[in-house]
Amino acid sequence: MKKGILTVFLSVSLLYTGFAQDDAFTADTKELMKITSVSAFADVINQMGAMVSSDKKEAFTEEANLTLGGVIDKLAVVYMEEFTHEEVKDLLAFYATPTGKKMANKTMVLSQKGMSIGQAWGIELQGVASKYVE
């Protein structure tokens, strides 16, 4: 009987520890999403807000910001599928540095410039491919 109770206790303890680790992993990953995406989210909200009349802009911005929780939750799931908790902790440590903070603030600009370069390369590559298509 004592072995049975001990086994149940250990199983519940291990299960709880797993959930606690998952909770910490989730919390850390959501924090990473906030750090790496907040400026991009703010830019998108501001761009969308440009279409809203000035008398409704504050209400729009408030409501738009309320939608961020769901986006962060979904992004966290994606990152948790690709990174371990230790890797997320490493990324958080990086983004706490001056270089990491700069990287987080420049992500949107870098993405936009990178897309532009990628589009130009795609056009160039189509020209190369057209030589070989019959």
Give the residue extent of every domain in the chain. Answer: 2-106
Query: In angstroms, how far is CA 35 from the centroid of its own chain?
Result: 8
Instruction: Please name the residues in contact with 37: beta carbons below 8 A apart, sequence gap of 6 or more.
Output: 71, 72, 75, 107
- What confidence tier does 83 reach under pLDDT thresholds 50, 70, 90? very high
Q: What is the pLDDT of residue 5?
A: 60
Lowest pLDDT segment from 37-46, 53-62, 70-79, 99-108: 37-46
Q: Hey, how many other C-beta atoms are within 10 angstroms of the C-beta on 112?
A: 12
User: pTM to 2 decimals?
Assistant: 0.70
pLDDT in tens, 12-21: 444 444 445 5
pLDDT in tens, 3-61: 656 454 545 444 444 445 589 999 999 999 999 988 788 888 999 999 999 999 999 99
Instruction: Please name the residues in contact with 91: beta carbons below 8 A apart, sequence gap of 6 or more.
Output: 32, 83
Q: What is the pLDDT of residue 15?
A: 47
At how many degrees (to 10) do helices 57-66 and 2-49 cross?
A: 150
Q: What is the pLDDT of residue 43?
A: 86
Q: Which helix (H) or strand (E) holds 92?
A: helix 85-95
Instruction: Please name the residues in contact with 46: beta carbons below 8 A apart, sequence gap of 6 or more.
Output: none
